[in-house]
């Protein structure tokens, strides 16, 4: 069984997208391939078919490999709840909450579990494409590392080091990273890739030659900067604030925003612009306002209250379309309570009062895949929430959940006001279904006297973009050298 690990000179240098590309390339070449990231830190997560929680980056990588996402691809997920504390998800389930110091002290407990995961994967696939996190040169974390060189050692994997030239200083970043590695770690690094290049490659070539002389590691290629309709890495997300198309969709960017991949499908619409707002001054007059999920709903709502956005949202809701997803849905209700201090030390706060629901945050997390219906459409998505929302006398549900983790049910989800312009739901990925996306957008098109459009399947769009990604990376790195590193032939 072959394996390769992609590490980077820092966060957001493009490790995730290179892993995604390699998964698609190896699959195209006839190999069974799986992604693997031992530990991910992200507020973008996903629920597998068996109700387990994992990071979204590995979900895209699984799709690139032609696989259904499984939690063994990302066994540890850290979801920050504050600057110093995170919820720890292990094998898809909540393990507990911990500060950075507390988690650092418990990491070695997970080494044996990670080894077992990797041995299982070795028995199932021809090749595993592994991803590191941050930088292997974080020497203060070396003694308990389980995600960079520590994981490469567990798996006995060769390493490719990626640097981001768009940030500037890429040669220093690559050389400096190699300088800080131990001798046994340096031996694992078999090549480098420079990512996000803009310009004339001929001007870069002398630097490439000098870098090889300095670090004694061959360069495998230079990947150009590109813009594809694929999910961003968490740290690389550009929260656009400009209107660039006919339909203006504003998303409230709260401090603990989560699952902002919910809006990627909307970006695929040719007449839609997505922008993020953080203040009442940026609000404008959007065609649709979305309140996304949050990992700390009460504190984020208090922040919106303090900066004046809450009042602006209430005013807008008199005529505009407001959609709340998960934490955003909870904010639209009458009250939020956190009696067990699940998310913060604030026990209770008033909601916006736009939907007649009351929410209590509970100890147990709901993690389910669902199919839901209303008179307009059928949607497929997933729930990730600690809250339980109860309906008041004026509330009516927006969806009926008809299937939950493969079991037929009949349950209410979400709420809608009497004017049908304020909507809330717990279902993530609701815009991925083209029928719901088309229904909402055509309401706006009617208002703006625009032609109705048929939305396209987001799955098909993503598949086409993954093939484009593979073509870009394949044509700009030395695939023969890469296959030599993993000790496989180029085609099956």
The DSSP secondary structure of 93-141, one letter per residue, reads: EEEEEEEHHHHHHHGGGGHHHHHHHHHHHHHH-SEEEEE--S-TT-GGG
Helix (H) or strand (E) holding 369: strand 357-373
> What's the pLDDT tens digit per position in 127-162?
999 999 999 999 998 999 999 999 999 999 999 999
Between 491 and 128, the higher pLDDT residue: 128
Residue pair 217/178 in contact by the 8 Å Cβ criterion: yes
Q: Under 8 Å CB-to-CB from 206, ≥6 apart: which residues?
A: none
CA 35/CA 58 separation, integer angstroms: 7
Q: Hey, what CATH class is 239-457 in?
A: alpha beta
What does R_g of the chain's alpha carbons equal in angstroms? 23
Torsion of CA 246, 261, 25, 146, to 10 degrees: 150
Q: Which listed residue (326, 380, 385, 452) is catalytic?
A: 326
What is this structure's pTM? 0.94
Name the nearest CA neighbour of 15 among 158, 218, 193, 138.
193
pLDDT for residue 169 is more than 90: yes
Report the SS3 class of residue 384: strand
Name the nearest CA neighbour of 3 among 132, 89, 107.
132
Query: How confident is residue 381, by pLDDT bands cut at 50, 70 and 90?
Result: very high
Residue pair 186/164 in contact by the 8 Å Cβ criterion: no
CA 136/CA 125 separation, integer angstroms: 26
Q: Under 8 Å CB-to-CB from 71, ≥6 apart: which residues?
A: 48, 50, 52, 53, 54, 91, 92
Pairing of strands 76-80, 45-47: unpaired
Sorted by where each begins, the domain ranges of the chain are 2-230, 239-457
Q: Under 8 Å CB-to-CB from 443, ≥6 apart: which residues?
A: 321
Mean pLDDT, range 75-96, rounded to an integer = 92
For the chain, percent of residues with pLDDT exceeding 70: 98
pLDDT score, position 344: 85
CA 45/CA 78 separation, integer angstroms: 10
Please provide residue 307's backbone torsions phi and psi, each rounded to the nearest 5 degrees.
-90, 5
Mean pLDDT, range 162-190, rounded to an integer = 97
Between 227 and 413, the higher pLDDT residue: 413
What are the b/e assignments for 470-490, b being 16+ CB within 10 Å?
Answer: bebbbebbebeebbebbebee
Q: Which listed residue (117, 428, 452, 454) is catalytic?
A: 428
Using CB atoms within 10 Å of the CB of residue 141, give its burial: 0 to 12 exposed, 13 to 18 middle, 19+ buried: middle
> What's the pLDDT tens digit per position in 305-325?
999 999 999 999 999 999 999
Q: Phi-psi region for residue 196, left (φ > 0), alpha (ψ -120 to 50) or beta?
A: left
Residue pair 346/302 in contact by the 8 Å Cβ criterion: yes
Output the 3-class SS for 445-475. Answer: HHHCCCCCCCCCCHHHHHHHHHHHHHHHHHC
Whether 326 is a known active-site residue: answer yes
pLDDT for residue 327 is more than 60: yes
Instruction: Give the fold, CATH level 3, of 2-230.
Output: Rossmann fold (3.40.50)
pLDDT for residue 265 is more than 80: yes
Query: How confident is residue 93, by pLDDT bands cut at 50, 70 and 90?
Result: very high
Whether 428 is a known active-site residue: answer yes
pLDDT score, position 189: 98
Q: Under 8 Å CB-to-CB from 244, ≥6 apart: which residues?
A: 273
CA 447/CA 436 separation, integer angstroms: 17
**Neighbouring-strand partners of residue 277:** 252
CA 51/CA 229 separation, integer angstroms: 27
Share the mean pLDDT of the chain: 94
What are the b/e assignments for 11-24, b being 16+ CB within 10 Å?
Answer: ebbbbbbbbbbbbb
Beta strands in 154-297 (DSSP E): 159-164, 189-197, 219-224, 247-252, 257-258, 272-277, 288-291, 293-294
> What's the pLDDT tens digit per position in 210-247?
999 999 999 999 999 998 988 866 555 667 888 989 99
């Amino acid at each position: 069984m072959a394996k390769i690990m992609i590490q980077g000179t820092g966060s957001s240098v493009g490790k995730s997208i290179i892993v995604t590309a390699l998964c698609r390339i190896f699959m195209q070449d006839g190999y069974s391939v799986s992604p693997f990231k031992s530990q991910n830190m992200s507020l973008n997560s996903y629920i597998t078919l068996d109700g387990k929680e994992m990071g979204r980056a590995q979900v895209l990588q699984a799709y690139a490999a032609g696989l259904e996402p499984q939690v063994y691809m990302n066994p540890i997920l850290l979801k920050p709840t504050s600057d110093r504390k995170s919820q720890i998800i292990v094998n898809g389930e909540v393990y507990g909450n911990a500060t950075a110091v507390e988690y650092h002290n418990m990491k070695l407990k997970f080494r044996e579990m990670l080894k077992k995961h990797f041995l299982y994967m070795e028995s199932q696939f021809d090749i595993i494409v592994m991803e590191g996190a941050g930088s292997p040169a974080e020497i203060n974390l070396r003694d308990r590392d389980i995600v960079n060189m520590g994981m490469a050692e567990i798996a006995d994997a060769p390493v490719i080091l990626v640097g981001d030239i768009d940030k500037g200083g890429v040669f220093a970043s690559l050389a400096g990273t190699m300088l800080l590695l131990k001798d046994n770690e340096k031996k694992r690094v078999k090549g480098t890739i420079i990512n996000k290049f803009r310009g004339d490659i001929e001007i870069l070539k002398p630097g490439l030659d000098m870098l090889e002389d300095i670090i004694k590691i061959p360069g495998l290629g230079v990947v150009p900067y590109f813009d594809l309709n694929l999910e961003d890495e968490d740290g690389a997300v550009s929260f656009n604030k400009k209107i660039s198309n006919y339909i203006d969709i504003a998303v409230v960017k709260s401090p603990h925003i989560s699952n902002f991949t919910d809006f990627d499908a909307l970006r695929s619409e040719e007449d839609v612009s997505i922008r993020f707002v953080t203040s009442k001054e940026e609000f404008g007059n959007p065609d649709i306002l979305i309140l996304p999920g949050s990992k700390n709903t009460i504190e984020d709502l208090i922040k919106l209250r303090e900066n004046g956005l809450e009042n602006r949202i209430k005013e807008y809701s008199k005529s505009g379309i407001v959609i709340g997803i998960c934490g955003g849905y909870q904010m639209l209700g009458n009250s939020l309570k956190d009696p067990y201090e699940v998310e913060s030390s604030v026990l209770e706060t008033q909601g916006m009062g736009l939907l007649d629901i009351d929410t209590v945050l509970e100890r147990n997390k709901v993690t389910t895949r669902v199919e839901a219906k209303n008179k307009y459409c059928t949607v497929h998505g997933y729930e990730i929430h600690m809250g339980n929302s109860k309906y008041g006398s004026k509330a009516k549900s927006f969806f009926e959940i008809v299937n939950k983790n493969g079991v037929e049910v009949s349950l209410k989800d979400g709420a809608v006001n009497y004017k049908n312009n304020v909507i809330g739901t717990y279902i993530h990925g609701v815009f991925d279904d083209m029928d719901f996306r088309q229904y909402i957008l055509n309401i706006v098109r009617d208002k703006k006297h625009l032609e109705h459009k048929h939305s396209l399947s987001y799955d098909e769009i993503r598949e086409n973009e993954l093939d484009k990604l593979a073509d870009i990376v394949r044509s700009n790195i030395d695939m023969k050298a890469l296959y030599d590193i993993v000790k496989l032939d180029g085609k099956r």
